[in-house]
């Protein structure tokens, strides 16, 4: 909204609870007698004791005119500001007003005080009240209603308490991005509802995010709403898969993400709430509600939210994002449709070739030993990574070696072999051949985890390719 025009002439913003404003009260009285002066008082319309003081206790005009310090003296012509000075300086005020003896006997300089309009106690409420305005429908609860219970009863929760998205909290969340609040980010399945930056911010508040997390959540929403990721299919499948978020680039450290000990677990606010915010958007905007469109047989904890950062600094290899063609100076989020992590336990193997085979043994069993052509995350812990580092292996060598060990002999996974009906159908011409366990381009390798413990992990994927889901990486825009 545009600011209403100020009266022409000199305009001062003051507050009584400011020693500098109290100090210059006689100066304001002199200016009132000598020129056209309008004073707006932020906390007491009786201060200063001159006629015509305007009441700005709502702080609307202070906020609209970007008053950061009081006293502020402005010059207004035809309703528009042409100049201003802040604080008290004898020389500046004399030059500004053209009154040579203004402020005789007063100290030469005082810096002034912070405006009430930028005080954290008021800033969020002012932004919510007088900013561009929130467009989402506001719902009023009855006085006796507990907002936490009310939000749960209305189906806005993932089963855990959510933070009430008050206008003040949403306005504060929106400060985390430069994107306009009404910017449509994506069309969210399954209901194919448009989601704006504001609506993502609302769900980020509910999830417990800080404003600086919002750009990551926005990028994740963009990624899962692509045709390639196929969020509708991810919801509708009875398999227990969910979006897994991997964050790379400078933003990991800037917002304090965890890439080390307990990286897939609880305890880090950014990791926990970013993934949760994405899932709340899918639920509350897209309509992806368990038992309705979400048909998972068992589900998994990742359906509440699973997000982590790669430990780039501790890795001898290029990062996941770099391997996908992104600069290390650019922050990205990669979304992967996967099952819950499973542990790769190997405390004995020292040589990199043997350790690669050990990892391959676990990956071959992802989802089921007879399922091939899947996407897979391999998360290598620091102690296992040391084996590859010490032997001089790079990412390319490891991925090549692992891929070669993930070629599966079809004859051992045909339907009916060993009495197991699951497997590759006979009669398709695959007998005697091999098939890849992991789809070409579907192997994502990351370095994460605590400094102690010989436990790496793997996440099996869902159906790959056009009929399923493929990983999607988006750059994070502030």
Check whether 411 has a pLDDT greater than 80. yes
- Domains of the chain from N-terminus onward: 9-130 (3.40.30.10), 135-326 (no CATH), 340-461 (no CATH)
pLDDT of residue 36: 87
Confidence of residue 130 (pLDDT cuts 50, 70, 90): confident
> Of the ranges 69-83, 91-105, 116-130, 441-455, which one carries the lowest mean pLDDT score?
116-130
Q: Which two tokens stand for residue 402?
A: 């692992």
How much is the pTM? 0.84
Confidence of residue 52 (pLDDT cuts 50, 70, 90): confident
Of 343, 348, 381, the residue nearest 363 (C-alpha): 343
* 327 Rama class: left (phi>0) / alpha (psi -120 to 50) / beta: beta
Read off the pLDDT of residues 302-328 as tens digits, 9 standing for 90 and up: 999 999 999 999 999 999 999 999 999
Read off the pLDDT of residues 330-385 as tens digits, 9 standing for 90 and up: 999 999 999 999 999 999 999 999 999 999 999 999 999 999 999 999 999 999 99
Of 444, 362, 373, 437, the residue nearest 407 (C-alpha): 437
Check whether 137 has a pLDDT greater than 80. no
pLDDT of residue 2: 56
194-225 per-residue burial string, b: 16 or more CB within 10 A, e: under 16? ebbbbbbbbbbbbbbbbbbbbbbbbbbbbbbb
Check whether 475 has a pLDDT greater than 60. yes
Read off the pLDDT of residues 230-247 as tens digits, 9 standing for 90 and up: 999 999 999 999 999 999
């Amino acid at each position: 909204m545009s600011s209403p025009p100020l009266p022409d002439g000199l305009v001062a913003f003051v507050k009584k609870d400011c020693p500098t404003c109290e100090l210059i009260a006689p100066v304001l009285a002199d200016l009132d007698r000598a020129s056209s002066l309008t004073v707006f008082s932020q906390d007491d319309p009786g201060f200063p004791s001159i006629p015509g003081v305007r009441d700005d206790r709502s702080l609307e005009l202070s906020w609209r005119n970007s008053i950061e310090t009081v006293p502020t003296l402005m010059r207004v012509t035809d309703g528009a500001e042409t100049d201003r000075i802040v604080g008290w300086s004898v020389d500046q005020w004399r030059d500004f007003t053209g009154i040579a003896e203004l402020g005789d006997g007063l100290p030469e300089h005082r810096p002034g005080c912070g405006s009430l309009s930028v005080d954290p106690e008021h800033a969020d409420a002012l932004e919510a009240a007088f900013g561009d305005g929130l467009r989402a429908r506001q719902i009023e609860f009855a006085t006796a209603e507990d907002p936490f219970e009310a939000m749960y009863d209305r189906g806005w929760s993932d089963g855990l308490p959510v933070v009430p998205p008050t206008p003040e909290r949403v306005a504060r969340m929106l400060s985390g991005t430069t994107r306009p609040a009404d910017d449509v980010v994506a069309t969210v399945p399954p209901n194919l509802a448009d989601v704006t930056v504001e609506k993502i911010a609302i769900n980020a508040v509910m999830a417990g995010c800080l404003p600086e997390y919002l750009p990551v959540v926005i990028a994740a929403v963009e990624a899962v709403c692509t045709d390639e990721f196929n969020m509708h299919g991810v919801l509708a499948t009875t398999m227990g898969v969910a979006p897994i978020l991997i964050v790379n680039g400078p933003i990991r450290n800037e917002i304090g993400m965890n890439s080390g000990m307990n990286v897939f677990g609880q305890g880090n606010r950014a990791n926990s709430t970013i993934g949760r915010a994405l899932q709340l958007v899918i639920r509350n905007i897209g309509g992806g509600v368990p038992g309705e469109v979400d048909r998972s047989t068992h589900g998994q904890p990742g359906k509440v939210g699973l997000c982590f950062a790669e430990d780039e600094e501790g890795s001898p290899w290029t990062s996941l994002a770099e391997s996908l063609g992104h600069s290390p100076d650019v922050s990205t989020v990669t979304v992967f449709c996967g099952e819950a992590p499973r542990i790769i336990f190997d405390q004995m193997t020292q040589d990199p070739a043997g350790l690669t085979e050990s990892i391959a043994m676990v990956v071959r069993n992802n989802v089921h030993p007879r399922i091939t052509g899947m996407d897979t995350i391999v998360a290598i812990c620091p102690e296992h990574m040391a084996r590859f580092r010490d032997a001089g292996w790079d990412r390319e060598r490891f991925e090549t070696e692992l891929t070669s060990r993930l070629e599966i002999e079809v004859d051992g996974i045909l339907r009916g072999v060993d009495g197991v009906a699951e497997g590759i159908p006979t009669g398709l011409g695959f007998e005697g051949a091999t098939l890849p366990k992991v789809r070409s381009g579907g192997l994502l390798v990351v370095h994460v985890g605590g400094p102690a413990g010989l436990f790496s992990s793997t996440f099996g994927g869902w159906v790959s390719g056009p009929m399923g889901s493929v990983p999607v990486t988006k750059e994070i825009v502030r």
